[in-house]
Structure 1
Amino acid sequence: MWTALIGALAWVVASALFGWLPLLGTLVTYLAYLGVIKWRYKGGWFTAAGIALTGWLAASLVLELLSVLGVTGFSALGIPGV
């Protein structure tokens, strides 16, 4: 839970500071999010990217299944783009 909260805060701050830059802003924002995951878990950048991808896929799948069942209005705080 704390990683998601800290990651969401890092995403918001980086997006506010650099989000206006095309492509570079998105990259810096994503690197800030990955940096939080890397800081919170053992492993390197590839491990952090794997954790982020797994979290994104799981959240996307659960939200899609809820949508199919007619349950809407939820979002995944701490998971970018979901």
Structure 2
Amino acid sequence: MKTVYSSFTEIDKRLRILNLQREIDREALNLQLKQAKTSLYPPKTVKAMLELLPVFLLPYIKKRWFSKKKKLHE
């Protein structure tokens, strides 16, 4: 769809709007980049891994421990 402009002021207005949208998008991208950098910061990554460790490791340890106890009683 082509837009037909009737004056240069309309063109200038549209160009200003597009320029502002581009600046907003650039700032949003910069913000997302900063957020990604902080979320990948090593202490936060290590903390997240340590929080997940019990969720995955404890069931495995329990399973192994109970299977060894069963073998001892047999």
TM-score (norm 1): 0.35
RCO higher in 1 or 2 (8 Å CA, sep ≥ 6)?
1
Q: Which has the higher helix share?
A: 2
